[in-house]
Amino acid sequence: MLKNNYNNLKNVSFDDNIVIHELEDTIDNKFFEVIRDRYEDIKFRGGGCTVIDYDGKKVNLKNAKIWLNNNGNYVKPKDYDICDFCSSIINFFR
């Protein structure tokens, strides 16, 4: 079956192949841009920096999920601020 799929790919017309190739380049460029931005974030803040993960949990930056905005750009997780945590506890008891 794999051979049949390969044969189908060989039969793609030249125009379709150009469109697919351009799409793959766009996806690859965006993927590498996100990876680069994440690497720079970890390099700048440190992998052990405590952040708020996508699901609201406190984690180290190196373990945080990679999330993207609607444009597909990397979103830096918010720094965990102990003062915010203390404020939320105080507000809970008010």
What pLDDT is recorded for position 64?
94
What pLDDT is recorded for position 3?
45
What pLDDT is recorded for position 29?
82
Boundaries of every domain in the chain = 14-92
With bands split at pLDDT 50, 70 and 90, how would you rate the model's confidence at 54?
Answer: confident
Collapsing DSSP states into helix, strand and coil, what is residue 14? helix
Single pTM value for the model: 0.60
Distance of CA 41 to the CA centre of its chain: 12
Q: Which of 8-12, 59-63, 79-83, 89-93 has the lowest mean pLDDT?
A: 8-12
Q: Which helix (H) or strand (E) holds 40?
A: helix 14-45
Q: Which of 34-38, 55-59, 88-92 has the lowest mean pLDDT?
A: 88-92
**Cα–Cα distances in angstroms (integers) from residue 53 to residues 7, 28, 60, 62, 82, in the given order:** 45, 25, 9, 11, 15
> Is pLDDT at 87 greater than 90 in this prediction?
no
Q: What is the mean pLDDT of residues 38-44?
A: 95
| 64 CB burial (10 A radius; 0-12, 13-18, 19+) | buried
